[in-house]
Each structure stands twice: as structure tokens, then as C-alpha cells.
Structure 1
Amino acid sequence: METKNILMLLTAHRYMEDTQSETGVWLGEFTDPYYIFLDAGCKVTLVTIQGGEPPIDPMSKLTEHITASNRRFLADKEAQFHLQNTLALQNVIPDPFDGLFIPGGHGPLWDLARSLESGRLILEFYKQRKPIAALCHGPAAFLMAAKLDPSFLLGKKVTSFTNTEEALVARKNNIPYELETVLKARGAEFTSATLPFTAHVEIDGDLITGQNPLSARQTATSLLERIAEKEASLGF
């Protein structure tokens, strides 16, 4: 079987608003999918808008948030090197890749949502009919894509970190907007789990979204399954 190439687009935004709290990539939302892709034999490429090392949300390093994949990452010098040396977005094109994965952390609300390069990359993946998965606050990256092409989110079933979850983590006053609200305003059909902080993944064609960190593994697995389905339909 041919090796699959997965591009992971990470936030590099560090600071919340009106507080000393920092944000960045939520560690488990990166490490859980990263190792699912590696263990499936995929090649994974990491990219941020400017390149280099993105910040990790300090809260995601706390004991209660440490996952098996986080511990694996802390012992994985090669993975740490790749995270410290992400490619710059301007140097990346979709052509070599089979799928795109966008982890969360609150950071995407700022940088990925406002980046023309990010929006264009997502639209190019979509035009090439390559699956795109985004997790938690990762779907904020869809907002620029929807600004460039208003049909992108129109009528699409998506999920993300919900307004209820935002209130429960007490960061509601330190973010520029609530993602659930804005996705709905862009025409998306928003879905979520009945209970906050339980796993929920929504699949609408080539768009795959996960609600929260507990949805990370299922979101990554769903991306791989969608890639396999598309290849099977083409007779690969």
C-alpha cells in the first residue's frame, strides 16, 4: 500500500485576551492524531503560518490532561524536532498530501481564522476533493475559507468546541468570539454531543470535525477512513 501523506496545520498563537493566560496547541489534540497517523504508516508533515516552534497551551500539560500519546511524545526526540521546526505555510501546497488535519487549542481563533494563506490552503484541499479534518477550535480555520468562498460552510454539518464548553472552562471572556456562534452565522449546520466534554465527530463528505479533545482519536481515524473510501471508489 502506498504511504499516505498527512499535513497537520497547527496554530502558533500564544496569548488570550484580557488575561495573563497563554494558549497555543492543545497537546493531546496534536499527539493523539499524530501517533494514529504514524502507527497507520503515514508520513506526517507539520506546518504553521510562520514556521518554527508553536506554543503549547500550558493547561494541556497538566497532569489531568496527560494522555498516553502525550507521554509518548515527551520521549520521542524525532517528533519533538519536527514540532520545533514546522514548515512555513507559504512553502506548502496541497498536491503531495492525501489529507489535512487541524488540531485545536484556542489559538486558531486568532491566527488560522484570519490567515489568507490558511483559507486558500483549505479551499485548495477541498477543490482537489481531499479530506479535511479539524478538531475542537481547529474549525476556526474554516472561517477564512468561508470568507473567501461563502459556499464553503453553507449547509455543511460541522461541530467544534461548543459555547457551553467555552463557558465551563471559564475562558469565554478571553476569546474574540464563540466559535459555535460564528460557524452557524456562516451557514453551517452545527451539531454537538448531548453532554459537554463527551466525544462527538461530524462527517459531511470531505469535511470531518471533532467537538473537543476527547474526540481527537475518532476524528483522526475518520480522516484515514475517508481517505481509504475515496481511494477505493477510484479503484486504487
Structure 2
Amino acid sequence: MSKRILVVLSEYGYWGEELVGPLEAFDARGYRTTFMTPTGKRAHALPPSLDSEYVDPPLGRSVTTRDMARKARAVDDSDRLDNPLSLADLIPERPYDSALNHLRELEEYHRRLASATDELVSDFDALVIVGGSGPIVDLANNERLHEVVLAFVAADKPVLSECYGVATLAFARDWESRRSLLWGKHVTGHPKEYDYKDGTGFLGVEFNMGPPPYPLEYILRDATGPDGAFHGNVGKETSVIVDFPFITARSTPDSSLSGELLVKVLEEDLRRYGW
């Protein structure tokens, strides 16, 4: 029976290659892929990720080949991303502590949450969080997505996260302990050297944020704690870390490798890579 992969995309823009890279690895193995967004809106690629002439400011060169731009545009223009699952419809929202009948509402929340996450985890073999700037807006601090991540980890199923999507893993925490799931783990992600100084943009928002609102490297260094580590691998062409159940990818050039390594995690029981 073929593997089933749940792929989460931002509604504020994903980076084309960071979807295409893993998707090609999954398609080659005959995996079935289902897409999900925060509210069920169709996701779209960030325009610079479809432009092979776009020069990435921190790297001083294009990071998208003509072939990859063509592939990413083909996926973005197809009907493959139509009608995604909605996190908001599937996963309940935790009530505020100020709710009038908080205890009863919290009990009902936990009942609904257990039912929803049990179904998702039983339906899929792995979770993928695609990167780009969009995840900064609607994935990193999305409590519904945090609950999905927690459920996959509790079920000992792998979670692949790319670029700014890795922040979701740092913020997905048990409500009681508040300790990051990445505590003691080895990860990679967008290092300071790769951060824009200006021009961080999102789909559907007429606003230039300037630099990213947070330095992901610093968040990951703190989240992994004294017994884990952040690996930027600056100066190396690729950076993908496997520390099961997590597969983390630094940025665009790591997309294909991250997908290939998830396949190895699923089929060859790979548990460690890159550190």
C-alpha cells in the first residue's frame, strides 16, 4: 500500500521549489499527497520563486533554475492544489481561559481534538510543512497546526519542515510543560546569513515587512537547548538534518534532498543524517 503524505501550505505564499522538490520524490515512489491550508483557501507560489531571473539578495544570485521555475509554475497553475483540507474546519480552537464555562468548553475541546488528530494521524504516514515567507504569517504560530504536529510526533510519525516552516516545530509545545518539541534535537533552518535586510513579502498583503519579523536561527538555537543544536551549514550547498521524527531543511536548494530523505525515513528507517 502506497504511503500517504499530508502537505501543509501557507495561504500567504509558499516557495515553489520547496513544494516541488519533496513532491517529485513522493510522486516517484507513488505516494498519495493531500494538501492542507489554514482555512481551506487555495495556496499559491510566491512570484519570485517562479522567476529564474530573480536574484536572492543575501546570496547574490538566482536560486531558481529555469527548469525548476517551469516545474513550479506548472504545479501552481494546475488543479492539483485545488480544494485543500482546512485546518480551521478539522481542528477545533482552544477556548480562552476567560470563557464563561471554561471547564466544560475545555473538556469538549479535548474530546474533539483527540478525535480529529487521531483521524488525521491514522490517515497519513508523514507530515510536511512547506517553506517560504508565507509560513511566518499563518503557520509558525498556528495553534491548530501545533496540535497536528504534536499528534504526529506522539504517533512516532515523521515531520518534514522547510525554511521558515521550521518555526512551527519550535513553537509546537505541550500545553503543560511549554517545552519545545525540538528540545535536545538537531535541526537546520534559515540562518541569519540568509535573512533579507529588506523586502520580505507575502501574497495578498500590500506591505513590505523589511527584514523577517524574527531571526529563525536564534529561535531554533534556543528551542533545541543545551543538548541539541542548530546547524546553519553556511557556505555549504545543502543543509538537511534528520533527527527522527524531524527532517528539517534550510532553504530552497535543500528541497529535493529533504524529500528524498523523508522517503528513506519511511522506507529504510533512517533516523539520523547530517550531524
Residue pairs, 1:1-236, within 5 angstroms: 2-13=1-12, 24-64=13-53, 65-66=64-65, 68-75=67-74, 80-89=78-87, 90-91=89-90, 93-146=120-173, 148=175, 149-167=178-196, 171=200, 173-188=210-225, 189-195=229-235, 198-230=237-269
Query: How far 1:182 sits from its partner (Å)?
Result: 1.1
Alpha carbons of structure 1 residues 112 and 165: separation in structure 2 relative to 1, 3 Å: same
**CA distance in structure 2 between the aligned counterparts of 1:187 and 1:110, rounded to whole angstroms:** 22
Superposed CA offset, 1:202-224 (max 9, x none)? 11121110111000011011111
8 Å CA contact retained: 2:42, 2:84: yes
Quick check: 1:157–1:191 contact (8 Å CA) kept in 2? yes
Instruction: Name the aligned partner's letter for residue 142 of structure 1.
Output: L
**Does the C-alpha gap of structure 1 residues 164 and 140 become closer, same or farther in structure 2, counting only changes over 3 Å?**
same
C-alpha distance in 2 between matches for 1:67 and 1:30? 16
Q: In the TM superposition, what is the alpha-carbon distance from 1:174 to its structure 2 partner?
A: 3.4
Task: Label 1:76 to 1:173 Cα distance change in 2 as closer, same or farther (>3 A).
Answer: closer
| Conserved? CA contact 2:172–2:180, under 8 Å | no
Letter aligned with residue 130 of structure 1: K
Looking at secondary structure, tell me which structure has more helix per residue.
1
Task: Indicate the SS of the match to 2:247.
Answer: strand
Q: TM-score, normalised by structure 1?
A: 0.83
Whole-angstrom CA distance in 2 between matches of 1:187 and 1:134 = 15
Structure 1 residue 144, shift from structure 2 partner: 2.8
* SS at 1:208 equivalent: strand
Q: TM-score, normalised by structure 2?
A: 0.72
Secondary structure of the structure 2 residue equivalent to 1:174: coil
Q: 8 Å contact 1:163–1:180 — kept in the other structure?
A: yes
Structure 1 151/212 Cα, relative in aligned 2: closer, same or farther at 3 Å? closer
Q: Look up the SS of the partner of 2:10 in the other structure.
A: coil
Report the Cα distance in structure 2 between the residues aligned to 1:48 and 1:211, rounded to whole angstroms: 22
Q: In structure 2, do the counterparts of structure 1 residues 230 and 107 end up closer, same or farther at CA, with 3 Å as the change threshold?
A: same
Give 5+ residue unaligned stretches, structure 1.
14-23, 232-236
| Deviation, structure 1 residue 66 | 4.4
The CA RMSD measured in Å over matched residues stands at 2.4
- Structure 2 residue runs of 5 or longer lacking an equivalent are 54-63, 91-115, 201-208, 271-275
Q: Structure 2 counterpart of 1:43, which letter?
A: R
Q: Secondary structure of the residue that 1:173 maps to in structure 2?
A: coil
Q: Relative to structure 1, is the Cα distance of residues 123 and 95 closer, same or farther in structure 2, using a 3 angstrom cutoff?
A: same
Q: d(CA) in 1 for partners of 2:192 and 2:233?
A: 12
Structure 2 counterpart SS, 1:199: coil
Q: Return the offset for 1:69.
A: 4.7
Shift of the 202–169 alpha-carbon distance from structure 1 to 2, 3 Å rule, reads: farther
Q: Deviations over 1:89-115 (max 9, x none)?
A: 243722211111111001112211111
Any conservation in 2 of the 1:7–1:47 contact (CA below 8 Å)? yes
